[in-house]
Amino acid sequence: MTAYVSAFDLFSIGVGPSSSHTVGPMRAGYDFARRLTASGRLEDTARVTCALYGSLGATGLGHGTPDAVVAGLQGLAPESCDPDDVRRAWSDWQDGAELRLDGTHGIRFDRDDVTFEPRTRLPGHPNAMTLRALDADGALLSEETYYSIGGGFIRRDGEDAALADASGSTPETPFSYGDAATLLELCDEHGLTIAELARRNETAVRSEEEVAAGLDAIWDAMASCVEAGLHAEGTLPGILKVKRRASTIRAQLEATEAEGHREVPGEWLGAFALAVNEENAAGGRVVTAPTNGAAGILPAVAMYWWRFLADSGLGAGNAVTPYGELVGSALLGFGPERSLVAVGAIDDPDELAEANRRRGIRRFLLTATALGSLFKANASISGAEGGCQAEVGSACAMAAGGLTAVMGGTNRQIENAAEIAMEHHLGLTCDPIGGLVQIPCIERNAIAASTAVTAARLALRGDGTHYVSLDAVVETMRQTGLDMSTKYKETSEGGLAVNVIEC
């Protein structure tokens, strides 16, 4: 069984504020309703209940979990729904109103049909929920327990954990690996970059054109989220009344540049991350990367490269693939000067720059996918399971590896960058104030984006050799998560969540 997870599962387009507490429960509600339809029990269903256990019960209100469940039961999917239809779907529900189960069958629904049981922790995962369908006499028609295992991935109780992913399938891939050491060995054996290996795994189940278009769609969604956050003002929902800052910072940086002062890439990097996570906290359209709580790090680092680094040293006259791979080379668009090569047929400078950026972003995302798969398979990307090291730490490592790749780093420099980034997030707790994905989550993404850039630059200054392997760090993260107290794992029962007054 391979650790590899498709980029289209690891980077899923959904809604905020949480992949494990919003997107996952929404998918569970959707799946439950569809199963009722498929089994022929939908028409006999008169009532549906949902019990939220553990972390889902402890911080579900702040994460919009019951709203997401209700939206999913109505047949809404996170990747295609209007985020406005999810916000307050349960919070503003009028008791006794008709809920259109699976979008077709009307049943009576009350707010207290969703219950919160934070002290009950099921053995399968800290994020657990049980959905039940009852007939008019109160007899049980169907019962399913779901685990929201991080990043929007769900698993039904009794289902093989190795088979659980966002789409419910695990296609065969030509390059299987279970750890970073094997990944590097495969790349050496076949003369591939990490991104090229990931691309070949993707094209085993999709065409080249579909993969390229899909990666472009992921980036477009990320970039749109950055742009939306940079221009949104006001306060975020919830009792904390946190004021949005990304728009103010953007205006300040634009004024600085308009006055003829030099651009400040590092400050823009932070603004990009704040923008995404403010959009996430507001329940907007975001891309899990690999989670919503850490969704700002990869887009911020990728946008930093796109805006400040991608156009340096562009060449011309070389034939390349849609991924930037120089024909006959495994460098995926990078020459010895570590700069992107160009498409020979493109003469317009703006079109040329756009084409090269697109290829670079595909390489960035594919590299990050190969690395992120290791964290998901061998440790965790769930804050409720491993603390924030599992979310922000994993995202930082993925971003560091992706940036190293598009800066022309070798496979071992990429692995080194990911290791540096993860190593310095070990032990990071998840203690959101008020159960909201706001403090310290939003700023934490900006700091981690900066760490990712630093890790990449350190790795690029070396030759790829280093003392601590990425595999050792992943295993250490797993062990640290097991040792970490439950109150520091997305329950808001410790740390900042209890030491800061929520008003």
pLDDT digits (tens, 9 = 90+) for 444-481: 999 999 999 999 999 999 999 999 999 999 999 999 99
Confidence class for position 332, pLDDT limits 50, 70, 90 = very low
Work out the average pLDDT over 111-139: 96
Read off the tokens for 479. Answer: 């062990």
* CA-wise closest residue to 2 among 201, 177, 204, 194: 177
The one-letter amino acid code at 388 reads C
The secondary element (H helix, E strand) that includes residue 448 is helix 441-460
How buried is 188 (Cβ within 10 angstroms: 0-12 exposed, 13-18 middle, 19+ buried)? exposed
Confidence class for position 313, pLDDT limits 50, 70, 90 = very low
What lies within 8 Å, CB to CB, of 175 at 6+ separation is 2, 4, 186, 190, 197, 200, 201
- Give the DSSP letter of residue 326: B
3-class SS shares of the chain: helix, strand, coil, % to 5? 50, 10, 40
Please give the C-alpha separations between residue 452 and each of 137, 316, 457, in angstroms, as whole numbers. Answer: 57, 30, 9
Work out the average pLDDT over 112-137: 96
In this prediction, residue 328 carries a pLDDT of 31
Read off the tokens for 434. Answer: 């008020």
Whether 209 and 269 have beta carbons less than 8 Å apart is answered as: no
Whether 466 and 460 have beta carbons less than 8 Å apart is answered as: no
In this prediction, residue 312 carries a pLDDT of 65
The one-letter amino acid code at 485 reads S
In this prediction, residue 259 carries a pLDDT of 84
Report the C-alpha gap between 370 and 134 in whole angstroms.
43
Residue in the structure block whose two tokens are 């729904």: 81
Read off the tokens for 451. Answer: 């760490």
Report the C-alpha gap between 474 and 180 in whole angstroms.
10
Rg (C-alpha) for the chain, rounded Å, is 22
- Give the DSSP letter of residue 320: B
- What is the per-residue DSSP string for 182-233? HHHHHHHHHT--HHHHHHHHHTTTS-HHHHHHHHHHHHHHHHHHHHHHHT--
The one-letter amino acid code at 80 reads S
Report the C-alpha gap between 200 and 57 in whole angstroms.
41
* CA-wise closest residue to 493 among 146, 141, 62, 162: 62
Work out the average pLDDT over 481-503: 90
* CA-wise closest residue to 36 among 134, 128, 114, 130: 134
Read off the tokens for 55. Answer: 């972390």
The pLDDT tens digits of the residues spanning 352-372 come to 888 999 999 999 999 999 999
Read off the tokens for 14. Answer: 């959904």
Report the C-alpha gap between 338 and 330 in whole angstroms.
13
Helix residue spans in 231-344 (DSSP H): 246-258, 265-281, 297-308
Residue in the structure block whose two tokens are 């006001």: 234
Count of C-beta atoms within a 10 Å radius of residue 206: 15
Is the C-alpha dihedral spanning 394, 397, 401, 404 positive or negative?
Answer: positive
The pLDDT tens digits of the residues spanning 64-110 come to 999 999 999 999 999 999 999 998 899 999 999 999 999 999 999 99
Read off the tokens for 447. Answer: 């700091």
Query: Which residues partner with 50 through β-bridges?
Result: 114, 131
Whether 477 and 376 have beta carbons less than 8 Å apart is answered as: no
Which of 380-397 are b and which e, b meaning 16 or more Cβ less than 10 Å from the residue's Cβ? Answer: bbbbbbbbbbbbbbbbbb
Whether 67 and 114 have beta carbons less than 8 Å apart is answered as: no
Whether 473 and 438 have beta carbons less than 8 Å apart is answered as: no
Backbone angles phi and psi of 483, in degrees to 5:
-80, -20
Count of C-beta atoms within a 10 Å radius of residue 46: 17
Query: SS3 for 264?
Result: coil
Angle among Cα 347, 223, 460 to the nearest 5 degrees reads 75
In this prediction, residue 503 carries a pLDDT of 54
Confidence class for position 337, pLDDT limits 50, 70, 90 = very low
Res. 166: pLDDT tops 50 = no
Average pLDDT of the chain, as a whole number: 90
Report the C-alpha gap between 310 and 445 in whole angstroms.
22
Report the C-alpha gap between 340 and 257 in whole angstroms.
26
Query: SS3 for 165?
Result: coil
Whether 66 and 52 have beta carbons less than 8 Å apart is answered as: yes
108 or 318: which carries more pLDDT confidence? Answer: 108
The secondary element (H helix, E strand) that includes residue 146 is strand 140-150
